Structure 1
Amino acid sequence: MSLSRKTTFEDLSSELHISIFEYLNANDLIQSIFNLNQYFNQLLCDYHLLLHWTLIEDRNEIGTLSSAICLEQLKSLKCYDYHLIQFHNPNKLSCLLSLVVFKYAINIREEEVIDFILAIPQLKYCQIKLSQSHDQVDFVSPSYHKSQEPTSSNLKYLDIDSKFGVSFSYFHSHVLRCSPNLRYVNAYLSCDDGNHNTIYKPISDLVYLSKLTLKIRRAKLDHLKLLSQNTPNIESLKLDCLAGNSNESFMNAQKWFQLLSSWKNLKLLRIYVQSKNNIPYNHFPGIQQTFRSVPFLVERHVCPEYSFSGYNRRRIHFNAHYRKK
């Protein structure tokens, strides 16, 4: 009676190996099987194998990892900003769907990182976070071709944290202009308080964008009005605004009325405003009434659950949660 031969891991088909490897992080996979034999080395470079890659640990050298796999194999990536710039050409990340970038290098502009991200062909999800530490690094600026008319990004989810705030004009005229498929945006922005001649490039309607969360330094209601012109389907709006030297626009009930009337699908509204100047208390009743009487809410029989709190001369906080009766 002959004994049947035991099946080993190497006896499995390459298709099954690829299916298993796709559940693993590229870092651990390379440490485990790279240079084990020629078969596994070839399998690591197989274009059917799409990998998760993390570059934020000391043991993860970009040179070592990139010698074992191809950039075209990455479907998710977590790295520092200088790692991303070192890839030089965003088109090589052709299968990348998810990206988390930690802002570390103080000599790499946020706009340069975001420009690179927007040029990644299939990217759907992106977070830019602040690293716990910061320093200056040596790097070479990416050499990929940038057309005068920016290409359209496939981003659906964008979360931007920033130490000083990304320029509002850059965010509006470039990020939003290049990202027509956005569904969710969370960003920290900064407006130029002294430049009254900023020209904002026209953008197409962001018809898929339903959730917008913004923290804005030196904000004015005109900045929100500009956003409202191209975001017709917002359902959730959360704003944290530090007003500029002039905060009159935030206390203008008629302007709030016009602004809110642009968002006809609004269901959740949370607004926090902090001003450098004292806020007259007699402005509040008119603003409160505005949140209760926007025409499209009345027509749709929508009842706002409204709360008003946090008044202490320079701060106001209003929370209106709209729902059907």
Structure 2
Amino acid sequence: MKTSIEHLPVELWISIFSYLEAHDLLQAFTNLNHYFNQLIASDYLLFHVRLGKTNHNPLEYAIHTYWSNSILNRIVSLQPIHQHKTSHIPEFLRWHCTKLNQLKFLKMKLRGREIPTICNILPQLHSLHHISIECVPNQMLLKTILCVDTIRICQLNFLPAVTSIIYESSQMSNIENLYIKYRDDSNNSILNFLLNHMPKLKKLEINSPESYFDSRDSPFAKPLFILLELRTIKIHWSLMYCDPKFFESLHQLMPNLQCFYLNIIYNYLTEDFFNNLVCHWWPTIEKIQQVDIFIKCRRPQITIDNNMQMNVDKFQSTLVAMNDKYNGIVKVIWMEKVFVGYRIIEISICKS
């Protein structure tokens, strides 16, 4: 009995095509035969599009003849071919945004001159659920992101801002998951602006390992907002100072927090740091259901005298004793090493 691939169930072909990028799919199967033309025309087939840079005129690239309305209104994902590189996505959106009725995921890297255009386009994408942007931020872009009420997941990769960010805005966002990475945010103006307008936030991830700052100026040190819905927070920071009220303020602002992940690089080891960790941070750690903390701190070996060494040993004993105190619910690991004249201490605290 002879069979052909056309005998496979339509549902299987739709599933197979969902793994292919739109250009590859259309080039491989368009006009292959009547059966595949019908499949490509099916409303059940949705397209994932990747755009890059070409040597052609970007307008010609954006309005290429195969971008028919029947294809445009079935695009659900749009992103660049190469991560962290600019593409023709802004031009594509400018020409076709009103036809992208099912676009749910959008990822792009923007130049400063493209931001006003994107700010006009985003409110027209009525199905947009997940947005990912890399750029130099400004007030206009942040306010526009907050105004798009369909966005639930927001990923922001920001270079240092060149204009000031003002906190005041009446717009409240429906964003539930926020991932933000930034190189520099003086006075945490960007983070404060976003968190102050995201009352429905459930998951927050902050990544700023390249910027050292004083935790007394962190967005959690001042009660500008209360995130009642927040359940999970992940922070990757570099600190110059350890504020004893950091954890206390954190839990006041996020009273229903269940999972807390913290990765800190502490630039200069002090005895106050360990005192804050044991005496001030620990009571709040006890209140959170799941905790995963990694702290790496250092100090020149020649500056550690006998008194300081005795205090460090005392804090080490206190922390390691938590393993027995909590009967395995809390696991503390303390590791030390000397590298190029520096004493490096790594502390891991896990609670589940």
TM more than 0.5:
yes
Alignment match, 1:284: 312
In structure 2, what is the Cα distance between the partners aligned to 1:298 and 1:177? Answer: 41
Alignment match, 1:94: 126
In structure 1, what is the Cα distance between the partners aligned to 2:35 and 2:333? Answer: 65
Superposition deviation, residue 215 in structure 1: 0.8
Q: Identity percentage over the alignment? A: 10
Deviations 1:17-56 (A, max 9, x none): x615x1333669x98895537xx5322443x542313397
Superposition deviation, residue 265 in structure 1: 2.4
Tell whether the 8 Å contact from 1:77 to 1:99 is kept in structure 2 after alignment: yes
Alignment match, 1:181: 201
Unaligned runs of 5+ in 2: 1-32, 54-58
Deviations 1:131-178 (A, max 9, x none): xxx999xx9x9xxxx97344134242413131x346446535742662
Alignment match, 1:124: 153
Unaligned runs of 5+ in 1: 1-5
Structure 1 residues 258 and 93: CA distance shift in structure 2, 3 A: same
Within-5 A mapping of 1:201-280:
201-209=224-232, 211-221=233-243, 222-229=245-252, 230=254, 232-242=257-267, 249-252=272-275, 253-266=278-291, 268-274=292-298, 280=308
Tell whether the 8 Å contact from 2:238 to 2:267 is kept in structure 1 after alignment: yes
Aligned residues: 292
Alignment match, 2:106: 76
Alignment match, 1:317: 345
Q: CA RMSD in A?
A: 4.5
- Which is further off, 120-129 or 304-313? 304-313
Question: Alignment partner for residue 159 of structure 1, among 157, 172, 180?
Answer: 180
Tell whether the 8 Å contact from 2:123 to 2:148 is kept in structure 1 after alignment: yes
Relative contact order: is structure 1 or structure 2 higher (C-alpha 8 Å, sep ≥ 6)? 1
Tell whether the 8 Å contact from 2:214 to 2:242 is kept in structure 1 after alignment: no
Letter of the structure 2 residue corresponding to residue 183 of structure 1: K
Deviations 1:78-125 (A, max 9, x none): 22253344322443343333333223x5xx54x665454444432414
Superposition deviation, residue 13 in structure 1: 6.5
1:308 equivalent to 2:332? Answer no
Deviations 1:227-285 (A, max 9, x none): 24326312432222346xx956413132243343343422x221123579956333323
| Superposition TM-score, scaled by structure 2 size | 0.62
Q: Which has the higher helix share?
A: 2
Alignment match, 1:3: none
Letter of the structure 2 residue corresponding to residue 36 of structure 1: T
Superposition deviation, residue 304 in structure 1: 1.5
Q: What SS is found at the alignment partner of 1:43?
A: helix
Tell whether the 8 Å contact from 1:272 to 1:316 is kept in structure 2 after alignment: yes
